[in-house]
């Protein structure tokens, strides 16, 4: 299993990618307004904070199987949320 440190780096990277995509879309496309992108960027920051907090406090610290299952679910949730936010950004027109 990867370390918690690496997981946090992945969380930060994915959140920064969402923010970067949102800012690029805002900068490059004239008809997109700040009011359209800001809620998505705020959601990305909230996502980052939530997932870092979840990574710091796993369930069932004494049982390795529960911990492994916990981190597997956390990674799956992280990917789903990231894809959801990126889809929202791509749908802006």
**pLDDT by residue (tens digit) across 15-39?**
999 999 999 999 999 899 999 999 9
Number of helices and strands (H, E) in the chain?
Answer: 3, 0
Does the pLDDT at position 93 exceed 90?
Answer: no
How far apart CA 14 and CA 17 sit, in angstroms, is: 5
**pLDDT by residue (tens digit) across 4-13?**
999 999 999 9
Domain boundaries, the chain: 4-22+33-91
What integer best gives the mean pLDDT of the chain? Answer: 94
Average pLDDT over residues 37-52: 97
């Amino acid at each position: 299993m990867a370390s918690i440190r690496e997981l946090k780096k992945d969380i930060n990277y994915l959140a920064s990618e969402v923010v970067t995509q949102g800012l690029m879309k805002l900068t490059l496309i004239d008809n997109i307004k700040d009011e359209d992108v800001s809620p998505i960027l705020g959601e990305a920051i909230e996502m980052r904070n939530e997932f870092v907090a979840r990574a710091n406090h796993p369930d069932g610290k004494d049982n390795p199987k529960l911990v492994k299952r916990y981190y597997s679910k956390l990674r799956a949730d992280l990917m789903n949320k990231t894809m959801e936010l990126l889809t929202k950004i791509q749908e802006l027109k």
